[in-house]
Structure 1
Amino acid sequence: MAEAIAFDIAVRLITKLSSIALSQIGQLWNFKDDLDDLKRTIARIQAVLLDAEERSVTSNVVKVWLHELKDALYDAEDLLDDVQTEALRKDLMSGNKLTKEVRVFFSSSNQFAYGLKMGGKIKARFAFIQGQISELKLVERDLPVETPFTAKRRRQTHSFVGKEEIIGRDGDKAALLKLLLEKEFQSEENVIIVPIVGIGGLGKTALAQFVYNHERVKDHFGLRMWVCVSDVFDVKTIVANIIKSVTHQAPNQNLEMDQLQTQLRDKIDGKKYLLVLDDIWNEEGEQWFSLKKLLMGGTRGSRIIVTTRSHRVAKVTSKCQPYVLEGLSDDDAWSLFKQIAFEQRYADSTNPFFLEIGTQILERCGSLSHKDYS
């Protein structure tokens, strides 16, 4: 539907605007002000999208407004991509830090995206679209957590990974296997929770996928389950997804929480299981403890892997020390970069021009190639 599409684009666009403002413009506050203005405008428009969706069913005027918004969001996203690409290209070619060329996003001198007037046109289009909110009497609403578009904000993960996708990490693989398979674990609880913590892009999910599919792990645990949690930590949804991971069939949507928890405990109680809860963001202990109580029926030796970017999540979910994932070594980072970036593989990776650009890009990706956290 138009509203769902527009919401997803708006979320991506606000994220990109935040990213540019924080990491690319430095001291160029005039440019930052323009970006912040656009971000606030889009956020205001985003707040009325649910009302617009409902009213578009009976109002052609609102339906047209939604289509105009969707087109404007697409154009703005394309323009931001061009700004980022061109700024990076100029920076790499010149060897200098970003200078005033990024200011051209909203100026008439923008030569590289959609012609001379696109930046100004996009500002004007969003100002017009926002101005129509009052005329159409659109009402701001909070999006309910159950809406399908909120769940799309972050990627959905799965349990499979090809061995060729994991570069380096031999020490991490061995350490995690030991945590999963070690019999003498100092804990009174049958089910041990092992948090993997690290910033985005370090490979937490890939590492969890590797150990999940390891032959020793398959032999050790009678039951293995994988659930991607992501944005919305809803206990009922997570329980239903755990059941689905066991039975390969979604439970009846009309079941109440009490019926679901009975099904869950019937599947896992008395079994030595491995459960991966991937990409947890919720830092509220109350919700976690509500879920944890339902998972403690496994036999001694059961494990739950939690992957998260947050040290607070790790502290809330487990009494154990979290496994903090560090950056790749320089050699492994370069191997990974070549695998992803060079289409011609060997030919590209020996081209001096590509080598120079690749080296500069890796230097900017400090979290990938260096053990550096903030």
Structure 2
Amino acid sequence: MAEAIAFDIATELITKLSSRALSQVGLWWNLKHDIDDLTRTVRTIKAVLLDAEEKSVTDNLIKVWLEELKDVLYDADDLLDDFSAESLRKDLMGGNKLTKEVRLFFSSSNQFAYGLRMGGQIKAIKTRLTLIGSEANNFGFLVRDRPIETSFMTKKRPQTHSFVPKDKIIGRDDDKASLLKLMLEFESEENVYIIPIVGFGGLGKTALAQFVYNDKMVHDHFELKMWMCVSDVFDVKIIVENIIKSATNRAPDQNLEIDQLQRQLRDIIDGKKYLLDLDDIWNEEREEWISLKELLVGGVKGSRIIVTTRSSRVAKITSKCQPYVLKGLSDDDAWCLFKEIAFEQRYADSTNSAFVEIGRQILERCGGVPLVIRTIASTLFYKETEKEWRSFKNNELVRISQNEGKFLPTLKLSYDHLPSHLKHCFAYCRLYPKDHEINVQTLVQFWIAQGFTKQLNPSQSPEEIGFGYFKNLVDRSFFQEVKNDETWFTTCKMHDLMHDLAESVAGIESCVVDSDKIASKVIENCRHISINPSLIPLLKGKKLRTLLYISNNRVRNLSDDEIWDLIITRCRYLRVLALNDLGIEKISPSIYK
């Protein structure tokens, strides 16, 4: 997301470099000239960044240039954090003036040496920026001081229409009827009959499965219903634990072994006509599937397992029957969905021949895929004129090419049309695992800690601004399964394709570290990491701003001091540290060093 955040980092840097506090720091360490020189360099580059951002959408060389620039800007920002910490340490050191000066001279942070070292680092950063700035001349950037204002940046959508409820799924009635016949009427030789639903990402396999799962006839037909999202990791023990949790509304004891868990599962399903939905399976290893299936055969005749997957190979190894292959929406249903979202507050435009013609031409590129239709229609909702629609079609949509199942380029158009502050808020969500239920309040706090929220109105709290950002992303269909209480949003999820998009736009800046192999490949420039804590010793990077533990997987025990010593030694620039559910009870004394 270099193109989205470079301008914001440069703006924040100039604010810090121009502050009275840093001016005082410059006088202390005889660095005022170096700081002023760096400020002028950053200002010069910032002047062309808005134009660079716009052009990077279609020019990969500019995107690479922005990535290099962003890394230097991050380093400069980290250096200013160093100044701030050292300044605070200097102020807090006790004793009279002479005693303090003696302590400082003989301390590990000798002030004269510190000033020389910082001066050298400032000059090194300025040299890197000057080189990058000279390369900008090759691109012919224009100087701009503000983004081009467009209606999609300011127009609001009513909260009550931010997503379509499951009972309003469009164009899937025939699919639902076909699946109900397989579930309620078909006579199978096996007690437990497995029905795979196959289709590429974004078609609505999960939505269709939920549509059927919540049907009243299904509710009355089965004694027991269970839902489990499997996703990338096919771990039989974890799957069994979650099936038990779904059936009993209570998680089993985490210390139980697989033999104890399988007995619990058999006690729950044996002798019952059950329905189990295993959503989003990726595992293509037959033996692993059989090891799970053997635990599920105890249901009485008429029991059903629904499997949703993108892989026909998965369908083949899970069931003897022909999979139910989900197709894209018909042209009429696709138009109905598109029209409902794009013209939500402008019904008159939905019958305007010019808008209809352009809309149907745009719709042809969506391939009947509901997620793509919703996302593109949500973007067009914020464009009110025929000129804006035609520009979107002629200047942006025509530049992308895609095959069936490869819709990230289309989805990225909606990302490209986000204001910059929403771009890096969305890309930050790449740190969550797929299908993770995201706590919205915690996510907003992470955004605030990273400095993504901008307080333009003094009467608004950072939390209110952050929740406003989240709602804007919901309105544009970047999140799904959004839940709320009487006051505000509580949890949400991201569709797998949206998660893929977040991973794509985040680039090398963010990484999920869940194996030794990935940990060894994390480059020094990575700034945000979600990690299994047992892998922290393998990390090489020292520029991290985020270190999260977001996982249901067990980790090997690490002592409190071991974890803290590693973090404190290697992660000087952290802004977010979240190691929930690890039982850490104290902070290591090494933090005082």
Per the shorter chain, which TM-score range? 0.5 to 0.7
Deviation of 1:313 after TM superposition, in Å, equals 0.4
Q: Does 1:123 align with 2:124?
A: no
Supply the distance in 2 between the matched residues of 1:219 and 1:164 (Cα, whole angstroms): 18
Judged with a 3 Å threshold, the aligned counterparts in structure 2 of structure 1 residues 223 and 168 are, in CA distance, closer, same or farther, namely same
Q: Is the 8 A contact 1:281 1:313 kept in 2?
A: yes
Pairwise CA RMSD of aligned residues? 3.2
Higher-Rg structure is 2
User: Which residue of the other structure, out of 55, 61, 65, is the alignment partner of 1:106?
Assistant: 61
Q: 1:265 matched to which residue of 2? A: 266
Residue in 2 aligned with 1:175? 178
Cα distance, 1:368 vs structure 2: 2.8
1:358 corresponds to which letter in structure 2? G
Hey, what does 1:297 align to over in structure 2? 298
CA shift for structure 1 position 119: 5.8
2:227 alignment partner, SS class: strand
DSSP 3-state at the match of 1:366: coil
User: Aligned equivalents of 2:305 and 2:320: distance in 1?
Assistant: 12
Tell me what 1:339 maps to: 340
Q: Which amino acid aligns with 2:173?
A: D
Give the whole-Å Cα distance in 1 for the aligned partners of 2:356 and 2:61: 33
Residue number in structure 2 paired with 1:95: none
* Counterparts of residues 168-247 of structure 1 (less than 5 Å): 168-185=171-188, 187=189, 189-247=190-248
Give how far 1:215 is off: 1.0
Structure 1 residue 348: Cα displacement: 4.2
Report SS of the residue matched to 1:294: coil
In the alignment, does 2:250 pair up with 1:249? yes
| Cα distance in 2 between the residues matched to 1:325 and 1:261 | 33
State the Cα distance separating 1:362 from its structure 2 match: 1.1
Q: Identify if the C-alpha distance between structure 1 residues 345 and 227 changes in structure 2 by more than 3 Å, giving closer, same or farther.
A: farther
Higher mean displacement: 305-314 or 361-370: 361-370
Deviations 1:102-134 (A, max 9, x none): 22x533xxxxxxxxxx8624224458999xxxx
Q: Secondary structure at the match of 1:355?
A: helix
Hey, what's the Cα distance between the residues in 2 that align with 1:274 and 1:83?
A: 50
Helix, strand or coil for the counterpart of 1:253? coil
Which amino acid letter does the alignment assign opposite residue 255 of structure 2?
A: N
> In 2, are the aligned partners of 1:338 and 1:345 still within 8 Å (CA)?
no
Q: Aligned letter for 2:299?
A: G
Normalised to the residue count of structure 1, the TM-score between the two structures is 0.58
Q: Give the structure 2 partner of residue 45 of structure 1.
A: none
Give yes or no for the alignment of 1:275 onto 2:276.
Answer: yes
> What 5-or-longer segments of structure 1 have no aligned partner?
1-8, 14-77, 88-101, 108-117, 131-160
Q: Hey, what's the Cα distance between the residues in 2 that align with 1:325 and 1:373?
A: 13
Contact 1:339 1:345 (C-alpha < 8 Å) held by counterparts: no
TM-superposed CA distance for 1:163, in Å, is: 4.7
Q: CA deviation at 1:367?
A: 4.3
Once residues 106 and 126 of structure 1 are traced to their aligned partners in structure 2, the CA distance between those partners, rounded to angstroms, is 16
Q: Deviations over 1:288-319 (max 9, x none)?
A: 11100000000000000000010000001001
> Are the aligned partners of 2:226 and 2:277 in contact in 1 as well (CA < 8 Å)?
yes
- Work out whether residues 367 and 373 of structure 1, in 8 Å CA contact, stay in contact via their aligned partners in 2: no
Instruction: State the secondary structure of the residue aligned to 1:332.
Output: helix
Aligned equivalent of 1:65: none
| Mapped contact 2:334–2:368 kept (Cα < 8 A) | no
CA distance in 1, matches of 2:281, 2:341: 26
TM-score, length of structure 2 as denominator length:
0.37
Q: CA deviation at 1:356?
A: 3.9
Aligned to 1:361: 362
**Compared CA separation, residues 357 and 203, structure 1 to 2 (3 A):** same
* 2:562 paired residue number: none
User: Counterpart of 1:194 in 2: which secondary structure?
Assistant: strand
Contact 2:271 2:299 in 1 (8 A): yes
Deviations 1:156-184 (CA, angstroms, capped at 9, x unpaired)? xxxxx945431112221111000000152
Give the superposition deviation at 1:198.
Answer: 0.6
Cα distance change of structure 1 residues 345 and 322 upon mapping to structure 2, 3 Å threshold: farther
In percent, how many aligned pairs have the same letter?
67
> Are the aligned partners of 1:243 and 1:264 in contact in 2 as well (CA < 8 Å)?
yes
Aligned residue in 1 for 2:159: none
SS of match in other structure, 2:183? helix
Q: Aligned residue pairs: how many?
A: 240
CA deviations 1:164-218 (Å, max 9, x no partner) are: 4311122211110000001523x2x210000000111111111111111111111
Q: Identify the structure with bigger relative contact order (alpha carbons < 8 Å, sequence gap 6+).
A: 1
Instruction: Pick closer, same or farther for the CA change 1:359–1:261 going to 2, 3 Å.
Output: same
Cα distance in 1 for residues equivalent to 2:404 and 2:321:
21
Change (3 A) 1:312 1:254: same
Residue aligned with 1:278, SS: strand
When residues 83 and 268 of structure 1 are mapped into structure 2, their CA distance, relative to the original with a 3 A threshold, is farther
**Residues 190, 300 of structure 1: 8 Å contact kept:** yes
Deviation at 1:240, TM superposition (A): 0.7
